[in-house]
Amino acid sequence: MRGRIRQRLRDGPYRLRPRTRHARSGALRIAYELHRPLLRRRRKPWLLLVQGLGYDRTGWDPVVPALRRHFRLVLADNRGSGSSDRSPRAFSVSDLARDAVAVLDAAGIERAHVLGVSLGGMIAQEVAVGHPDRVDRLVLGCTTPGWPSGYPMPSASLSLVARARTMPPGEATRAFTENALAPGTVAQRPELVDRLLRHRAARPHDATGWAMLNAAGARYYGGRRAMRIRAQTLVLHGTDDLVVDPRNGALLAERIPHAQLRMLPGLGHLFFWERPAALTEPVSAFLLDEGAAPGVLHTGAVGDGEEQGR
């Protein structure tokens, strides 16, 4: 009986959150939480998770149960989102990278694996370039080296941004949520759209903070700075991403020395909500494999046997 209870706590839906902590980054307080394994039979590596635009650290909920089996997790809120302070002035992706390092400092973590998606992937790149001694291995999901050194936003998203100005707020939110998923997912799994809408409604975002984060991402120009990344790197990108052109994944994998690329067929921008195993399986294998050969190109579906998005 005790064993079954422990298994439920370890693998079941994640309901009880660790306490919110705060790191000091300049004048701002950056919120974060630590997830340690319930059964500490051996010391596990640290993994810092950096979210993208529009989501706080609860945006990782679909993948936390699987990742915490193998890692000690650090989940942070970017400035202007979740429980972190909003910046009083404009800032850059490099400033957001310094926030991430401040979280590691506050948690007493000298070195960690770093995983970032979308805007969080830009932040993760800057952490790896500007603070290489803090990064063990690096995972970049659905992200870009920035314009004009990368491919611009797909036309479908540009059109939606233009149309959204005349839409009622609720209609616009649904449209952007659907756009962040693969078209096939929207058609076949409308319940996931509703689940994401409920998730976002339960966590209203700061409109000004969102706009400032959006501006920082839009101004990001990584150029060929990715060539300076020395951490072993895995790049993940859905082939049906309508928010960040999937060709950016190949660009990053080409520019980062010995990077691995895994394209995820039929998945969109929020691939880790569509199919959590599409993130957790390759990430765990990559971060835990001490003898992995660099530069291997991976393609193909991941986690087809796991219940999708549940």
Domain 17-151+204-299, CATH class in plain words: alpha beta
Residue 9 — pLDDT band, cuts 50, 70, 90? very low
For the chain, the average pLDDT equals 89
Task: Lowest mean pLDDT of 11-15, 118-122, 146-150, name the range.
Answer: 11-15
Percent of the chain with pLDDT over 90: 81
User: How far from 224 is each of 147, 201, 204, 215, 256, CA to CA, in Å?
Assistant: 11, 38, 36, 21, 9
Q: pLDDT at residue 246 above 60?
A: yes
User: How far from 81 is each of 18, 115, 138, 207, 272, CA to CA, in Å?
Assistant: 18, 18, 23, 9, 20
Burial class (CB in 10 A: 0-12, 13-18, 19+), 89: exposed
CB count, 10 Å around CB of 297? 11
Percent of the chain with pLDDT over 70: 86
Residue 38 — pLDDT band, cuts 50, 70, 90? low
Q: pLDDT at residue 300 above 50?
A: no
Domain ranges of the chain: 17-151+204-299
Helix (H) or strand (E) holding 126: helix 119-130
Q: pLDDT at residue 297 above 70?
A: no
Report field, pTM of the whole predicted structure over 0.85: yes
**C-alpha closest to that of 145 among 164, 128, 131, 132:** 128
